[in-house]
Amino acid sequence: MFEPVKIAPSILSADFMSLGRDIAMIEEAGAGYVHFDVMDGHFVPNLTIGVPVLKQLKKIARIPVDVHLMIANPLEELPWFLDAGADIVTVHAEAFDGPEQMEQAIHLIKEAGAKASVSVKPNTPVDAIAGVVPLLDMALIMSVEPGFSGQKYIEGSEAKVAQVVQIARAAGHELEIEVDGGIGVATAPGVAAAGADVLVCGNAVFAAQDPAAALRAVQQAADDARLLALAGA
């Protein structure tokens, strides 16, 4: 059955001085989630937003807030974001010393009533998360090296999306697959056809002349590709 993809604009590319206006604008344009990029200066060479901004955002957002934790100590710091009201929380497979720790983080997220997601960076194989796929609400495939918005999509990332689809199918488990990095009208069709359900867009939306129109254009391009893929399946 056809389901439209969800666009998750990354507020890293928004106007922080007018964040409330930008959130209202993307909600109006039909965004599925607000993507909230947390970087700690250790896991990635950049430092962004954290708990105080998330708390304020949660007071005004009418759609779920999708928190992407690019942090070195998820087990220690994850509870802060859960307490602040994160709806979906993504942790990185690379931040853990093995699968037990990763499972522990997933359980922490779920116990708090949030949706649990795990991500792999471009050089991390999907195998790293295959064992926990049955526990996940979402899996995030990074299609750029995490750290900065506005980078170029790494060709071939759609193959990793297809791999997650296969693993989930084999396990009889349903989850959302999100892709993050360099997604716009040109790259959205490939990942949508491969099975992506959620597309993060930073620059493609917020750096556009008309962000609402840009969001709808990415949505349209992705949905067309998804429909075509379904028809061919």
Interface contacts to ligand DX5, rule CB under 6 A? 10, 12-13, 35, 37, 68, 144, 146-147, 149-151, 180-183, 200-204
Angle, CA 145 vertex, CA 85 and CA 162 arms, to 5°? 85
197 contributes a contact to Zn ion by CB under 5 A? no
Site string for Zn ion, 38-77 (x = CB under 5 A): ------------------------------x---------
Instruction: State which residue has the least CB distance to Zn ion.
Output: 68
**Partner that binds at residue 204, options Zn ion, ligand DX5, none, CB closer than 5 to 8 Å by kind:** ligand DX5
Interhelix angle 74-83/51-60, rounded to 10 degrees, is: 30
120 binds, among ligand DX5, Zn ion, none (CB under 5 to 8 A by kind): none
Residue number, 37 or 158, with CB nearest to ligand DX5 = 37
Q: What's the CA angle centered on 107, arms 101 and 111, to 5 degrees?
A: 150
Residue nearest to ligand DX5 (CB): 202
DSSP state of 207: T
| Alpha carbon distance 47, 39 (integer Å) | 5
Q: Which residues are catalytic?
A: 37, 180
Closest CB to ligand DX5 among residues 212, 227: 212
- Residue 126: in which H helix or E strand, if any? none
Q: Which two tokens stand for residue 13?
A: 């590319």
- Of Zn ion, ligand DX5, none, which one sits near residue 144, judging by CB under 5 to 8 A according to partner kind? ligand DX5
Cβ-based neighbour number of residue 25 at 10 Å? 18
Sign of CA dihedral 116, 121, 125, 128: negative
Nearer to Zn ion, 44 or 108 (CB): 44
d(CA 110, CA 122): 26
Kindly tell me which of 77 and 103 has the beta carbon lying closer to ligand DX5: 77
> Which residue(s) pair with 68 in the sheet?
37, 90
> 132 to 191, contacts with Zn ion by CB under 5 A?
180
Q: Which residues bind Zn ion (CB under 5 A)?
A: 37, 68, 180
